[in-house]
Amino acid sequence: MAFAAETNPVDALKAVFRRHASGVAIITLNAENGDPVGFTATSMTSLGATPPLASFNVASGASTWAHLCKAKYVAIHTLTESNIPLAQKLAADHTKRFSDSDWMRGPHNLPIFEGVSSVLICRIREIHSVESNAVIIVEVIEGLVGTEANPLIYHQRSYKTTADIV
Amino acid sequence: MAFAAETNPVDALKAVFRRHASGVAIITLNAENGDPVGFTATSMTSLGATPPLASFNVASGASTWAHLCKAKYVAIHTLTESNIPLAQKLAADHTKRFSDSDWMRGPHNLPIFEGVSSVLICRIREIHSVESNAVIIVEVIEGLVGTEANPLIYHQRSYKTTADIV
Please report the residues numbered 88 through 127 in chain A whose beta carbons come closer than 8 angstroms to any beta carbon of chain B. Answer: 104, 106, 112, 114, 117-121, 125-126
Is residue A1 predicted with pLDDT exceeding 60?
no
pLDDT at B80: 97
Residue of A nearest to B18 (CA): A148
Q: Is the pLDDT of residue B1 over 90?
A: no
pLDDT in tens, B32-67: 999 999 999 999 999 999 999 999 999 999 999 999
Nearest to B152 by CA among B101, B102, B91: B91
Q: Which value does ipTM take for this structure? A: 0.95
Residue A8 amino acid letter: N
Sign of CA dihedral B60, A127, B26, B122: negative
Smallest Cα distance from A107 to chain B, Å: 10
Assign a CATH topology to domain A23-149: Pnp Oxidase; Chain A (2.30.110)
Q: So what's the pLDDT on residue B130?
A: 96
Average pLDDT over residues A50-56: 97
Task: Give the tens place of pLDDT for each residue, A129-153.
Answer: 999 999 999 999 999 999 889 999 9
pLDDT band at B147 (very low <50, low <70, confident <90, very high): confident
Q: Is A66 at the interface with chain B, CB within 8 A?
A: no
| pLDDT over 60 at B10, yes or no | yes
Question: b/e per residue, A86-124, with b = 16+ CB within 10 A?
Answer: bbebbbeeeeebbeeeebeebbbebbbbebbbbbbbbeb
What's the mean pLDDT in B11-19?
96
- CB contacts of A128 in chain B (<8 Å) are 126, 128, 135, 137
Instruction: Return all residues near A49 (Cβ < 8 A) that are at least 6 apart.
Output: B10, B13, B14
Return the CATH number of B22-155, one of 2.30.110.10, 3.40.50.2300, 1.10.3720.10, 3.40.50.300. Answer: 2.30.110.10
Distances from the Cα of A135 to the Cαs of A44, A80, B3, B125, in angstroms?
A: 10, 24, 28, 13
